Amino acid sequence: MNLDLLEKAISSKTRALLLCSPNNPTGSLYSENELEDIVNVLRRYPEIYVISDEIYELINFTGSYKSIGSFTGMEDRVVTVNGVSKAYAMTGYRLGYLGAPIWLAKAITKLQGQMTSGATSIAQRAALEALTGDQKPTAEMNRAYQRRRDLVIKHLSEIQGIKYIIPGGAFYIFPDVSAFFGKSFNGQVINNAEDLCMYLLEKALIATVPGEGFGSPDNIRISYASSDENLNLAMSRLKKALENLK
C-alpha cells in the first residue's frame, strides 16, 4: 500500500480501513514493517477503525505472520475477521468469526442476528476442534500449497510475455497477461482478460478468473488449490493455448 495514497484517501468521512493479508487475489501479504508504517498513519486518525480480513492467516509461506491488531494502541481499533474455510479446508461449514472491542462485537451481533442465520451446533463444534486441536495437518497443507505454488511458478516462468509476483501466502497467483491482448486464434481476438479467460475455458478447458472484478483488468487469477497432477496438466494446457495466440 502506498502510504501517500492512503493519506490522500482519508477524509473527514473516513471511518474504516479494509485490510486483507494474505490477500485474494494476489497472494501477497504485509510484512511487520509495512504494517507498522500503516499503523503510524492511522495513529494520527483515532476515529478510523481497521477491518482486518485474516482468513488466509495460516496459508503463509514467509515463516511469520503479524496481525495489525497486535500493534500497541490498535487493540481497540481493529476488527479481526477469520474463519475455518481456508486454513482448515472446511468451506462447506460456512462458519466465520471475528474479534473486536466488546462494545462493537455486541453491536455486530445485533445486526448479524437479523441478517444471517444457520451456523449449526455441529459446525460450531467442528470449528472448535479445528481451532484448538492438532495443527499438524494444517502445517502439512501449508507445505503442500507452497509446493504447488512453486510448481505453478515454474510453468509460468516458461511462458514468454507473462509477468507475475511470487505470492507470499493464500493459494492464488495473479499474473499480468496484457502482452496477449490484441492477439488472436482462428479469428478469435483477445481484447482483454475476460476474453482470454473465455478462450482458455473453451480451447484449453481450464478455468481462470479475469482481474476486472478485482480492479486489475490486465491480470487473471489462477488458483493452485488442486492436486499436483491437475496443476501440471492445466499449466501445460495454458502454455500451449497462449503459444497458439498470434
Q: What is the pLDDT of residue 119?
A: 84
Question: What's the distance, CA 184 to chain centroid?
Answer: 31
Q: What is the pLDDT of residue 114?
A: 85
- 3-class secondary-structure state, position 203: helix
206: CB partners within 8 A, 6+ apart: 200, 234, 237, 238, 241
Mean pLDDT of 189-211: 98
Confidence of residue 1 (pLDDT cuts 50, 70, 90): confident
Q: What is the pLDDT of residue 91?
A: 92
Does the pLDDT of residue 117 top 80, yes or no?
Answer: no
Does the pLDDT of residue 2 top 90, yes or no?
Answer: no
d(CA 46, CA 178): 41
Instruction: Tell me the CATH architecture of domain 137-243.
Output: Alpha-Beta Complex (3.90)
Question: Which of 169, 168, 161 shows the shortest CA–CA distance to 220?
Answer: 161
Confidence of residue 118 (pLDDT cuts 50, 70, 90): confident
Does the pLDDT of residue 156 top 90, yes or no?
Answer: yes
- Would you say 14 and 43 are in contact if contact means Cβ atoms under 8 Å apart? no
* pLDDT, tens only, 170-191: 999 999 999 999 999 999 999 9
Grid cell, residue 23, equals 490477500
> 3-132 in CATH: which number?
3.40.640.10
Q: What is the pLDDT of residue 168?
A: 96
- 3-class secondary-structure state, position 223: strand
d(CA 31, CA 193): 30
d(CA 14, CA 145): 37
Residue with cell 495460516: 58
- Would you say 150 and 161 are in contact if contact means Cβ atoms under 8 Å apart? no
Mean pLDDT of 149-156: 98
Confidence of residue 113 (pLDDT cuts 50, 70, 90): confident
The answer to whether domain 3-132 and domain 137-243 are alike in fold is no
DSSP string, 77-88: TEEEEEESTTTT
pLDDT, the chain, mean: 95
* pLDDT, tens only, 14-51: 999 999 999 999 999 999 999 999 999 999 999 999 99
Domains in the chain: boundaries:
3-132, 137-243
Does the pLDDT of residue 166 top 90, yes or no?
Answer: yes
- Would you say 90 and 137 are in contact if contact means Cβ atoms under 8 Å apart? no
